[in-house]
Chains A and B, each alone.
Chain A
């Protein structure tokens, strides 16, 4: 892994900017990565124009899963839900700035899966990798 990218990831892991809970929130969703036990919950507040006004994540797991969640949440603040729905896995990987093997890819994309599960209004546990 390239050192600069790793530094960013470890910095976000150790000092997340958007970790916490929103009470109350308009959207909340969570999921696990069963392979490694990573867990992510994302909570959003959305205004009357469907724009995300606040967003946080909470959870535990490896540096990649947690940094990816922090960066993703940061990315969506101020964005309309339509744009949030259009975020792709390449967007997430680009903000992480690293190449990942198939196992770590699951770690990196867990937050996106959670986010999409939330914005598509799915029941907990229903979001699948196809959403990504």
Chain B
């Protein structure tokens, strides 16, 4: 596999050339929150607005035809990128959160009744917890959680035990946005199927960073977000198996999702339009089409290998810094995410001091409060990597962390000297 030329890749992302403070360049280590966008994506959206801005699926004029063509061909490309069986299984939503909510509201309301069990995990993002809490309140369904081990892995023995209780659905993340853990989703999906359950995968952190083949995984539902994979905000994707989507009631009503409306009744449109009520995020879909083309050209295997190497280096260097504790498994089991605490310094203070050095990291609970509670902490600082990060970025982070120590009066004088 060819190694990536990161210097060249960095130049594809105009924002990486900016300074954050005078003379201090940006070191962007917050891609798990949202990724930066390459120029090709910005250009694709710009061209749509400048050259063929029109609504889709409803005009016969030239611009409408071009816009509809670009929108649907982006859907094809996105479908191929994750190897869906057909493009009509790719539904556009506002974000991964809405994709999961679509399943909870449409599939869940139709198929789950009082006492039915849904399995979740302790490492879920709030977006794959709260929709199910709402449904539990509304329907009286039962929820059970696969525990996270101290190493930051899912406790698969408990998962198997929970499956014996014949759940209707297992919903879990492909990759944790805090621990970085890459879960064995293929095996977990197969186990769910063997127990008669469907499997919904939150792929918001996986699709941007790993090769994902949805057919090979045999996922029933798979959700992800455009903005974390070099695409624009405002766009998420729900993959669903055709026969499941066909059997589901619509999620929202309005234009585009209908075939025919009379006073008092309507007939539902075909997939995927059935789930895309109203004017969609046309420019964003076109932008994501360009993003997946960009990522595919570089190669997801190469991106994954690069990030693996980078996280390995980052974990080694972080270990050197006294007082820093990284959560999650070792490099071979995780993606490019390092969430850590710093003895005696709150993550917000860490992030603020790093910001002074141009380094963007996130501090907080990262929308995974239950996971933080599990580890008995309220917050972590999180550095996350993407294809445009390199060893130098890690080095700047480490220098920044030594500055944090200095600001908080931790003495790093050579051993043997008195401490102040």
Contact = CB atoms under 8 A, between A and B. Distances in A.
B420 interface: no
A84 to B, nearest CB: 27
Nearest to B378: A37
Nearest to A11: B409
A107 B344 CA distance: 17
Contacts of B379: 36-37
Interface in B357-410: 363-365, 372, 378-379, 407-409
Contact of A36 (B345, B356, B363, B408): B363
Interface residues of A, number: 15
A107 B365 CA distance: 15
A63 B349 contact: yes
A10 B345 CA distance: 10
Interface string A60-73: 11111000000000
A14 B407 CA distance: 12
A104 interface: yes
A10 B348 contact: no
Given A62-B348, A107-B348, A35 B364 contact: yes
Interface in A89-132: 104, 107
B378 to A, nearest CB: 3
Contacts, number: 39
Contacts of B372: 37
Contacts of A39: 378
Contacts of B347: 36, 62
A63 B350 CA distance: 10
B346 interface: yes
Interface string B186-220: 00000000000000000000000000000000000
Interface in A1-25: 1, 6, 10, 14
B234 to A, nearest CB: 22
Nearest to A6: B407
B378 A1 contact: no
Interface in A74-97: none
A104 B352 contact: yes
B30 to A, nearest CB: 14
A53 to B, nearest CB: 31
A10 B74 CA distance: 52
A10 B372 CA distance: 25
Contacts of A14: 344, 408-409
B24 to A, nearest CB: 15
Interface string B309-350: 000000000000000000000000000000000001111110
A39 B365 CA distance: 14
**What 9 A-B pairs come out closest when comparing CB atoms?**
A37-B378, A62-B346, A62-B348, A63-B349, A37-B379, A62-B349, A36-B348, A36-B364, A36-B379
Interface of B: 344-349, 352, 356, 363-365, 372, 378-379, 407-409
Interface of A: 1, 6, 10, 14, 35-37, 39, 60-64, 104, 107
